[in-house]
Structure 1
Amino acid sequence: MELRDAATLFLTACILCLVFLWERKQRRPRSKLPPGPIPLPLLGNLLQLRASGMLKPLMKMRARYGPVFTLHLGPRQVVFICSCEALKEALVDQAKEFSGRGVVTSLNKLFDGYGVVMANGDRWEQLRRFCTSTLRNFGTGKRSIEERIQDEAQYLVEEIRKTKGSPFDPTLVISHAISNVICSVVFGNRFDYTDQKFLHLMGIINDTFLELSSVWTMLYETFPSIVRYIPGPHHRIFGHYKALHDFITERLRMNQQTLDPSCPRDFIDSFLIKMEEEKQNPQNEFSTRNLVETTIQLFFAGTETTSSTLRYGFLLLVKYPEIQEKVQEEVDRVIGQNHSPAMNDRGRMPYTNAVIHEIQRFANIVPLGVPHKVTCDTHFQGYLLPKGTDVFPVLGAALWDPKYFKDPESFHPGHFLDEEGHFKKNDAFLPFSSGKRVCLGKSLALMELFLILTTILQRFTLKSPKLPQEIDLTPKASGFLNAPPDYKLHAIPREGGLESTIGEPWQTVEQDGGNDEPKAARHG
């Protein structure tokens, strides 16, 4: 009996192996994927990656297999692009073929292909055109985006001033300031720094960012059919999503009740008007579901990536006080203490501009990029990628490439300065990706980084409770995303400066039990 059972098991295993090999051959009859390390059964190449810092093992694979290679994330084949030249060839030269959105299992379960970031095909094209146009329109008019950022920078100054030089954790206050800028466009108002409901949402966004950077998320991406049933912190992201969804849905309801089609106040109004205009078009993608999911994606992406970059920036400036001093010298010389920083100052501030670019490069907040997929069978660098192949554009490979940056693992503003001290561009500077899927908020983020950083350094000198040599720059979490470490700093007021330069008011609200009450009437 035991011999018969053993023979049956052996025969079954042989049949399964033959079926596996046949299916694999049938699935890839025309493909010629890039080379890569041999995968283990079930695990794929998981053991060759590190949950804490995936960039270095990917760079070792690049050295062995070239700038384009294939890895198995469990049973899933994924192509990684790991050089500036190959990234530009894919994202720019073959932009259409690489314009699909790849699989991010946790986010796909939340959004199910809805919203401008996660959509594909005609849905993505319609939403992308609308978002690009609408966000541009709300950057002009009565109150430009620049003015809104300048005002929010002053609110941030006043909030930091309340610390009176005592050490504080800048995480939530920076997130709040950055989020208020996108809120002014999406919702038409900002939120007070004491608004407890909004502070809770900022905490949720920060926690979601950390979850997306964790080892559990990596495991979930690799083995979704198994890990989804295992209890663990990876399930928290779904509760975070529900809180954001409920918040956005409530804002949508408020806009619907007060909508004036002749005078859109914000992004939500504009989308609601577009929904009405397109309701007779059976091919339109302007639905309530796409409105809610797009707003969540803009709200999250518009908050956390820029605020994380700023937090890394402040930490770098306290670790390297001599760099902070040089930025302050340039701020004092070009802007002075009698007016707020403006974007037209940036062209006369090469060192500050170089420091901000170097902060983005060094922080490397989205090292693996957001995955793409090819929209058709695609010839690329001598290989054939079948339609639907997931592709990771490893942005960190360009940002930390010694071919373009002399000492990539060091924080060195000289990477963006020529021999005469003028600002110089660098082709490998790709923190916003490139091509058709380039970050929607690129222009907004660049304005926020310049205006907020220069405003803070105009008013304060930042110091750490620790000695500079004791400050650790290691990310708090480093997987698909890099999260800056926790830290505290002192903001020491500088002599002189404007007491308050908050411009023309725009609406501030404080929520209480879901009802918005104007705290200070601020109109454009």
Structure 2
Amino acid sequence: MLWLGPIPVVVLSGYEAVKEGLINHAEDFADRPATPFLEAVAKEQGIILSNGHTWKQQRKFGLVTMRKLGLGKKGMEHQIEEEAHQLAESFARAKGQPWDPAAAITNSVTNVICAVAFGCRFSAEDKEFLKLVEAVDCISKFPSSNFHTLYEIAPRLLNCLPGPHRKALASADIIHSFARKEIEKHKENQSAHDPQDFIDFYLCQMRKNKNDPKSTYNENNLTQCIFDLFVAGSETTALTLQWALLLMANHPDIQEKVHKEIEDVLGSSSSFSYQRWKKLPYTNAVIHEIMRSQYIFLFGVPRECTKDVNLFGFLIPKEATVFPDLRSVLLDPKQWEKPQEFNPNHFLDKDGKFVDREAFLPFGAGARVCLGEQLARIEIFIFFTTLLRVFTFQLPEGVKELSTDPIIGITCPPRPYKLCAVPRCSAS
């Protein structure tokens, strides 16, 4: 236990402690801490940062709606597949020369969230879309800064002073404003009988519950839910894909085994359903190992204790902030044979069949497990297999290896790099 002023902070480290806390005491660690910055950007609304009745209603709606949008079925998969082909075209324009893929990957992943929330995609040249991408990037990086710590300690003082916190708060306003504009467009073109996206479904839910005094379905919560989708779903998936390409360039032998398996299963087919992952045990193992070995968060998202809890003989007091150290779970030497190495065999049995592991918890666990887990899994799978089928990813001339040391922050991106996406002759 650490003390941040008057607030007790407890870190759960290792698989056993995290499992005991998040799964066996799921309801006891279900709340989110309300800090000055989080209240400023979310006002305890939406899904990620709300608590109590609001959180339960919004999360339940989110889970049901994600299923209705066809995650795991052809509807949403088709849009992700189209976005993957757009990304492949961006790579092709580099003509095999050294190129930093970060911006193109981020744009494509953000457009997937646009498809989920708004039912449409935006051109990479659209100025409003680029402002949205920049705003999401800013709000995602700010919690890693010293100014964030200062804001949490003295919000009233910093609200009177210039600094990066003002840009972060302005970025939150940009995302909220973008969402409100799309909500107004949807209200003008009601799709009550055939909802197509998150906003459509939410507006239908608002109409159904308009006479319920306990309903939390309103435009403020809808706006924050959209904010949550972008902040939680853009950078996380984009960084995972950046790590994926870096690791493939560093491990050409693994890359070739993935490509061969994809070609053997896919053949001449131009489309690739997520459900086919079961026929790609090695590729699936590689994707899981990428997420395990280069987990993109420094910790899991913090929780707040709803009551006094005794955990392994230690008292965790009510209202303590609890950090589940998911990185420690993914690197736990008691759970993984070679935790510090990039080794797809962590997810394969002796016969080469894929093995799911209980300690694979990059999306968290318990009551607050990531709402977009299935969307993220489908995105990573389709983007990764599409790119590995079309290109060979090589190190630039004179580069022996790309650095696997992350930039440490709230998220842990790879250091900026360039690689060569060389088109495969057999690619259609």
| Match among 492, 496, 519 for residue 422 of structure 2 | 492
Distance 1:111 1:424, change over 3 A: same
Matched, 1:267 2:182: no
Matched, 1:479 2:406: no
In 2, the alpha carbon distance for the partners of 1:402 and 1:141 equals 33
What is the identity, as a one-letter code, of the residue corresponding to 1:353?
N
Q: CA deviation at 1:405?
A: 1.8
Is 2:176–2:223's contact at 8 Å kept on the other side of the alignment? yes
Aligned residue runs from structure 1 range 200-349, under 5 A:
200-221=131-152, 231-349=162-280
Distance 1:203 1:487, change over 3 A: farther
Is 2:395–2:401's contact at 8 Å kept on the other side of the alignment? no
In 2, the alpha carbon distance for the partners of 1:78 and 1:226 equals 24
Aligned residue runs from structure 1 range 124-139, under 5 A:
124-139=55-70
Matched, 1:442 2:390: no
Q: Name which structure has the greater RCO, CA cutoff 8 Å, separation 6+.
A: 2
Q: CA deviation at 1:343?
A: 1.8
Is 2:7–2:320's contact at 8 Å kept on the other side of the alignment? no
Gaps of at least 5 residues in structure 2 are none
Is 1:209–1:483's contact at 8 Å kept on the other side of the alignment? no
Is 2:72–2:274's contact at 8 Å kept on the other side of the alignment? no
What is the identity, as a one-letter code, of the residue corresponding to 2:284?
N
Distance 1:140 1:363, change over 3 A: closer
In 2, the alpha carbon distance for the partners of 1:365 and 1:376 equals 30
Q: Note the alpha carbon deviations across 1:76-117, whole angstroms, 9 max, x for none.
A: 211111121111111111111111112454222211211111
What TM-score, normalized to structure 1? 0.77
Matched, 1:157 2:118: no
What is the identity, as a one-letter code, of the residue corresponding to 2:271?
S
What TM-score, normalized to structure 2? 0.94
**Larger Rg: 1 or 2?**
1
In 1, the alpha carbon distance for the partners of 2:377 and 2:30 equals 24
In 2, the alpha carbon distance for the partners of 1:413 and 1:74 equals 43
Matched, 1:198 2:129: yes
| Match among 285, 299, 318 for residue 387 of structure 1 | 318
In 1, the alpha carbon distance for the partners of 2:254 and 2:32 equals 39
Q: Note the alpha carbon deviations across 1:219-274, whole angstroms, 9 max, x for none.
A: 54466566666643343211211111111111111111111322222111211121
Partner residue, 1:114? 45
Q: Say which SS state the counterpart of residue 392 (structure 2) adopts.
A: strand
Q: CA deviation at 1:386?
A: 2.9
In 2, the alpha carbon distance for the partners of 1:423 and 1:214 equals 39
Q: CA deviation at 1:412?
A: 1.6
Is 1:218–1:479's contact at 8 Å kept on the other side of the alignment? no
What is the identity, as a one-letter code, of the residue corresponding to 1:444?
L
Is 1:172–1:199's contact at 8 Å kept on the other side of the alignment? no
What is the identity, as a one-letter code, of the residue corresponding to 1:190?
R
Q: CA deviation at 1:355?
A: 0.9
Q: Note the alpha carbon deviations across 1:111-168, whole angstroms, 9 max, x for none.
A: 1211111110011000111111011101169952222211211121122222222222
| Match among 184, 187, 192 for residue 115 of structure 2 | 184
In 2, the alpha carbon distance for the partners of 1:322 and 1:349 equals 17
Matched, 1:403 2:334: yes
Q: CA deviation at 1:291?
A: 0.8
Is 2:71–2:77's contact at 8 Å kept on the other side of the alignment? no
What is the identity, as a one-letter code, of the residue corresponding to 1:253?
E
Gaps of at least 5 residues in structure 1 are 1-69, 499-524
Q: CA deviation at 1:182?
A: 2.1
In 1, the alpha carbon distance for the partners of 2:24 and 2:416 equals 40
In 1, the alpha carbon distance for the partners of 2:396 and 2:34 equals 42
Distance 1:79 1:223, change over 3 A: farther
Distance 1:306 1:444, change over 3 A: same
Q: CA deviation at 1:218?
A: 4.3
- After TM superposition, the structure 1 stretch with the greater mean CA deviation from structure 2, 173-182 or 193-202, is 193-202
Partner residue, 1:36? none
Partner residue, 1:79? 10
In 1, the alpha carbon distance for the partners of 2:305 and 2:204 equals 33
Partner residue, 1:456? 387
In 1, the alpha carbon distance for the partners of 2:73 and 2:235 equals 27
